[in-house]
Amino acid sequence: MATIQKRKKAWRVQVRRNGQTMSATFDTKAEAEGWAIITESKIIAGIAPEVILNEPTTTEEVTAADALRRYADEVSPNKRGGRWEKIRLEMLVRRFQLFDRLITSITGPDIADWRDTRLVSVSASTVNRELCLISSVFTHAMKEWRLGLTANPCSQVTKPRKPRARTQRVSVPERKKIVSQLGWDGESQPTSASHWVAFAFYLALETAMRKGEILSLSWSDIDFDARHAHLDMTKNGDERDVPLSKAATALLRIVETREPSARVVPIQAGHFDKLFREAKTAVGLSHIHFHDSRREAATTMAPKLSNVLELAAITGHKSLSMLQVYYKPKAADLAARLDA
């Protein structure tokens, strides 16, 4: 049996059948009536309650945890970083009681308290990423799910100050130590997962490609004649052709295959991270990140190019401020160029 009531500018509908109670809020009475008919028929047909709960529900029943889970199921899978988002959202639901509260009851001060608590155990960068994700959930819930939110509480909170950008570069002795620990000689066909990690590290140092970009490459993306690797989708959403130096080409020739659909580096990201982390730690270089190879490559390339736009075309950066994070020349090198 359905009960429909007018509440200010919205219509609230509640369905009671077979011991189950479902409710939702709509802009028009016609929408409320239609939802009631469909929901009642689902209950009669014996469809599981959790399936019915995927329908819009009233703000009187929806917790922030409900919204975070729904976002993970419906929105995150459509993003390139969907896997990371889903893991992060599940962690937030599991670890913080704040999100057990009704979504409409959470305020800016509540989010600020969560931020301060989180900063005790993780870096400002991590908190900023999580805060942006939570904000996206609230915005989506407000615009798309008719949950009655009038403001995003995250917008009322000051983000933690970003830490200084990393300046770490990767010297030749450091890269050799890591690659040696991974067991690859730099010349022969990789025969183990560790070898492939070493190969990818060297390729990153020659191309300034991100780890995810390298792992996404198929042989159909490599054009030896045009001397570039085509990236169909990058972190900023654009495609990019990465020029291949003679050194990068030589590396790729070592592992070249005739199968266009085959991955250039056939290893999963999770396993890749574990192997690189273990290798750098074993040789006393735990401060080195794989992503530092991008900074090293960009800094090494810069003196060989005529202007900053050429460097940006290689790295894919859209702004000078971001490119500056990755171009870190040594003062002594700049001094030598001034004397040239």
Q: Is the dihedral of CA 217, 218, 223, 224 positive or negative?
A: positive
Please, which residues have CB within 8 angstroms of residue 318's CB and are 6 or more apart in sequence? 236, 312
Residue pair 213/231 in contact (Cβ under 8 Å)? The answer is: yes
> What HEC string does 235-287 produce?
CCCCCEEEECCHHHHHHHHHHCCCCCCCECCCCCHHHHHHHHHHHHHHCCCCC
Q: Is 274 a catalytic residue?
A: no
- What is the separation of C-alpha 319 from the centre of its chain, rounded to a whole number of angstroms? 20
Give the CB-side neighbour count of residue 111, counting CA atoms within 13 A: 26
> What HEC string does 13-64 produce?
EEEEECCEEEEEEECCHHHHHHHHHHHHHHHHHCCCHHHHCCCCCCCCCCEH
Query: Of these residues, 69, 235, 263, 328, which one is catalytic?
Result: 235
Q: Is 83 a catalytic residue?
A: no
Which among 286, 271, 264 is positioned nearest to 202, based on CA atoms? Answer: 264
Q: Is 228 a catalytic residue?
A: no
Query: Of these residues, 210, 240, 294, 295, which one is catalytic?
Result: 210
Q: Is 235 a catalytic residue?
A: yes
Query: Of these residues, 118, 202, 295, 326, which one is catalytic?
Result: 326
Which among 93, 84, 87, 33 is positioned nearest to 66, based on CA atoms? Answer: 93
Please, which residues have CB within 8 angstroms of residue 103's CB and are 6 or more apart in sequence? 59, 62, 63, 64, 66, 67, 138, 141, 147, 149
Which among 228, 225, 230, 248 is positioned nearest to 240, based on CA atoms? Answer: 230
* Residues annotated as catalytic (active site), given as ranges: 210, 235, 317, 326
